[in-house]
Structure 1
Amino acid sequence: MTWKNIAICVSSALIAANSTFAYADAITEALLNGKTQLNANLRYEMVDQDNRLKDADALSLRTRLTYSTGSVSGFSSLIEFEDSRTVLGVDDYNNTLGEHTQYSVIADPESTELDQLFVQYKQDGLGIKMGRQVITMDNHRFVGHVGWRQDRQTFDGATFFYQPMDNLTLKYGYLSKRNRIFAQGKDIDAKDHLINVAYKSSVGTLSAYGYLLEVDNNTNNALDTYGFRFNGAAKAGGQKLTYMLEYATQDEDSQGISYSADYLAAELGTSVSKLAIKLGYERLGSDNGEYGFATPLATLHKFNGWSDQFLVTPKEGLADLYASFSGKAAGGKWSVIYHKFDADEGSDNVDDLGSEIDAVYTKALSKYYTLGVKYAAYSAGDSSAGKVDTDKIWLWLNAKF
């Protein structure tokens, strides 16, 4: 080997080393200059039901610590831990894990878990995320994080995001595990496929979706839902109107037994003298009174009343006619919602499913602290529907740093 060849080899090695160290420096910078966040939620919840169960109350503190790295060539990562504890001995409630079953349910069991851990790539309209993550689709009706509960819902899997143009978004997700709100013991292995395509226009956003769900438990089961959603806003005679229309059809198959049901939702909103008003109707259909339309991955607390009477759709289905009013007062925001519930396919015994009044007030005390109070009052309908009068009250203080 000549001195010239040796010089070339040495030069190449030095260039490669410099490139390697430069890349290593970029990774180190991304790790050192990441972002740390702390979110703490102190909440009191009380449940009073008109049955034999004792009134429940819980004072719990949920703490969530998150660290996200900077980006290197489009790659970044995030890790997040979550802990939920009762405090000051206020723990007279059924936590859904078989403890204190003489009390009403408050679905906030104590838990400590890895809430999120993923690696992602985002560049040129393409996004890929691998690992445990929060996933939401549209308005959370079919896929959500159940963020109201102290132990929120996350998923293990891979999600893909592609935006070929500014007004078109394509999403796909494959889920291998549903990390639900009841601590790790009730998480569910899955083989779920999530497909969502959204097109944004001047009058609103049109979404089309397919959610193909399967519990991975060595049985034949499937819950397939296909639908579309349109929501937007426009002005009519100087008045701003908001609107939403959604329809979906669902097929459920379990151990060779099949059912079909459909879903319909419509909403119209406006404002009068700073008072926001919405009127809506949501129907979770029934298959001849034997099966109710299901949304097992949804943020269910957001829909059909905050007292959580219909986390599982009755086999007769559910029709929810509602009106909401919201505004601002004393530096905070308030809302009041009325629901009238009926069976979609009623019978002589089950038709009237009751009514509910919900109210909430929240106020930001500073950049870091938010105070809230919330109330739900459910009045039962037909006694054979299995529901009872229920009152729930929440008080909370949230801190974000």
Structure 2
Amino acid sequence: MPRATLTPIALALLSLSAPAFAAEDLANLVNQGKVSVDARYRYENVDQDNALNNADAQTLRTRIGLQSGKWYGLSGLVEADNVSRIGDASYNSTRNGQGDYSVVADPDGSEINQALLRYDHQYGNVVFGRQRINLDNQRFVGGVAWRQNEQTYDGALAQIKPLAGMTLTYAYIDNINTIFGPDDNRFDNKTNPANIEGHSHLINAQYVVMPELTLTAYSYLLGLDNIAASAASPLGSLASQTNGLRANGTLGAFSYAAEYAQQKDYADNPLELDSDYRLAEIGYTWQGVLFKGGYEVLGGDDGAGNRAFQTPLATKHAFQGWADVFLTTPKDGIEDAYVGVTAPLWGGQLQAWYHDFDAEQGSDSYGDEIDLSYGHPIPGVKGLGALAKYATYSSDDDALTVDTDKFWLQLQYTY
């Protein structure tokens, strides 16, 4: 009987395919793990034209994380934060009882920022636990990473990539860890709970048709039970269903974005909501300098209470000016016409923006704002960077807003 032999080609094919069938070592979870450290010192000054004392806040946010390696696509992450005040408490953190001062929403405390299990596959991933969720440009769902205590989400998220360029995302959320945490006390109110309770569903479908066009459709069903749009609004008044479409892309040196969304009431919201969101934005890059202009509208409503278009889970600091005057959309809505430039300068990055704010309903002018920032890595220390930032808002409607100046100095180290 002839003896079977393997040809050189067969041996080569076997050697290539062997890793696909090789058992993965459970020890990879530990051996391929990584420790991360992030420390961010910030000085923030707030000067408002009202009876409140100017705020001067020095805080240090320390974050330590442990990311495991992967075993058959499985991995885990645990991340802990601590926010500590440095020096006097000459500011209202929303939890420290310093109500005579302007707000700097960075309460002291320690918290598990993320604790999750993750499974990765060539066609997508699934994440269970406390996690960071940033969808699209974070206008509707984000982590509010600007504040010292990041906003994270308790629940499950699944992403499927059935086609090249297509990503389908679904998340179920039953608790939101807000920037006002980790704890409530006698100084909080119904607009700033440490945890937002309720059952929420996030649905997002994105398709990169080509570099010139990305299409996104979304539906965000927010069941937010224990939070209100304002102190005068009932609990649950931010529960909403927002359905929208977004198109964005680049054409040579030009970039653009166009978006429309409609917001209705959802779950047990005692108010009837019906408002629109509109965005048109265009940018142009020349020799590394980005020029951008846009027009964003969050619709108002003349019904009882504040029924304007709200974005309670957004990274709001990135929109409508850094002074954060319009974290809650006014009852009459808001129109924001803005222009800005982002430019490399002396090894760092300079930003300058101008906003003009008007009511969406009626002819009232809210005011305007100028924002400036400059960030630069610190030479000789890998992972260390500095930032100086300034925002000045001038009010045209003293019954609604006040003149506000804010200034920040920041040092951040990431390892």
> Which among 206, 211, 222 is matched to residue 215 of structure 2?
206
TM-superposed CA distance for 1:274, in Å, is: 4.1
TM-superposed CA distance for 1:183, in Å, is: 1.0
Q: Specify the code of the residue in structure 2 equivalent to 1:362.
A: G
Question: Structure 1 residues 362-371 or 328-337, which shifts more?
Answer: 362-371
> Which among 368, 377, 389 is matched to residue 364 of structure 1?
377
SS, match of residue 292 in structure 1: coil
1:40 aligned residue: 39
TM-superposed CA distance for 1:273, in Å, is: 4.8
1:261 aligned residue: 275
TM-superposed CA distance for 1:26, in Å, is: 2.2
> Which among 100, 113, 137 is matched to residue 111 of structure 2?
113
> Which among 390, 395, 410 is matched to residue 375 of structure 1?
390
Mapping of 1:96-245 within 5 angstroms? 96-97=94-95, 99-184=97-182, 185=184, 186-202=194-210, 203-216=212-225, 222-235=239-252, 240-245=253-258
1:295 aligned residue: 311
1:19 aligned residue: none
CA–CA distance in 2 between the matches of 1:103 and 1:220? 28
Q: Specify the code of the residue in structure 2 equivalent to 1:305.
A: G
TM-superposed CA distance for 1:220, in Å, is: 7.1
Tell me the alpha carbon deviations over residues 193-222 of structure 1, each in whole angstroms, 9 at most, x when there is no partner.
000000002212110000000024598764
Q: Specify the code of the residue in structure 1 equivalent to 2:409.
A: L
1:354 aligned residue: 367
CA–CA distance in 1 between the matches of 2:173 and 2:369? 35
TM-superposed CA distance for 1:187, in Å, is: 0.9
Aligned Cα RMSD in Å?
Answer: 1.8
SS, match of residue 391 in structure 2: strand
Q: Specify the code of the residue in structure 1 equivalent to 2:310.
A: A
| Kept after mapping to 1: 8 A contact 2:32/2:70 | no
Q: Specify the code of the residue in structure 2 equivalent to 1:32.
A: N
TM-score normalized by the length of structure 1: 0.89
| Kept after mapping to 1: 8 A contact 2:32/2:69 | yes
Aligned residues: 370
Q: Specify the code of the residue in structure 1 equivalent to 2:302.
A: N
CA–CA distance in 1 between the matches of 2:392 and 2:386? 21
Relative to structure 1, is the Cα distance of residues 220 and 46 closer, same or farther in structure 2, using a 3 angstrom cutoff?
closer
TM-superposed CA distance for 1:136, in Å, is: 0.8
Relative to structure 1, is the Cα distance of residues 159 and 255 closer, same or farther in structure 2, using a 3 angstrom cutoff?
closer
Tell me the alpha carbon deviations over residues 144-168 of structure 1, each in whole angstroms, 9 at most, x when there is no partner.
0000000010000000000011211
Q: Specify the code of the residue in structure 1 equivalent to 2:276.
A: D
CA–CA distance in 2 between the matches of 1:273 and 1:72? 44
| Kept after mapping to 1: 8 A contact 2:225/2:236 | no
CA–CA distance in 2 between the matches of 1:259 and 1:183? 28
The answer for unaligned runs of 5 or more in structure 2 is 1-21, 185-193, 228-234
CA–CA distance in 2 between the matches of 1:145 and 1:247? 22
Tell me the alpha carbon deviations over residues 127-183 of structure 1, each in whole angstroms, 9 at most, x when there is no partner.
110000000100000000000000010000000000011211100000010100001
SS, match of residue 330 in structure 2: coil
1:394 aligned residue: 408
1:16 aligned residue: none
| Kept after mapping to 1: 8 A contact 2:299/2:360 | yes
| Kept after mapping to 1: 8 A contact 2:391/2:406 | yes
CA–CA distance in 2 between the matches of 1:92 and 1:255? 37
CA–CA distance in 2 between the matches of 1:106 and 1:174? 31
| Kept after mapping to 1: 8 A contact 2:25/2:71 | yes
Question: Structure 1 residues 149-158 or 282-291, which shifts more?
Answer: 282-291
| Kept after mapping to 1: 8 A contact 2:356/2:368 | yes
The answer for unaligned runs of 5 or more in structure 1 is 1-21
1:18 aligned residue: none
SS, match of residue 81 in structure 1: strand
Mapping of 1:86-97 within 5 angstroms? 86-87=85-86, 89-97=87-95
> Which among 326, 333, 339 is matched to residue 342 of structure 2?
326
CA–CA distance in 1 between the matches of 2:174 and 2:206? 24
Q: Specify the code of the residue in structure 1 equivalent to 2:240.
A: L
Q: Specify the code of the residue in structure 2 equivalent to 1:215.
A: L
Q: Specify the code of the residue in structure 2 equivalent to 1:39.
A: D
Relative to structure 1, is the Cα distance of residues 90 and 396 closer, same or farther in structure 2, using a 3 angstrom cutoff?
farther
1:17 aligned residue: none
Q: Specify the code of the residue in structure 2 equivalent to 1:177.
A: N
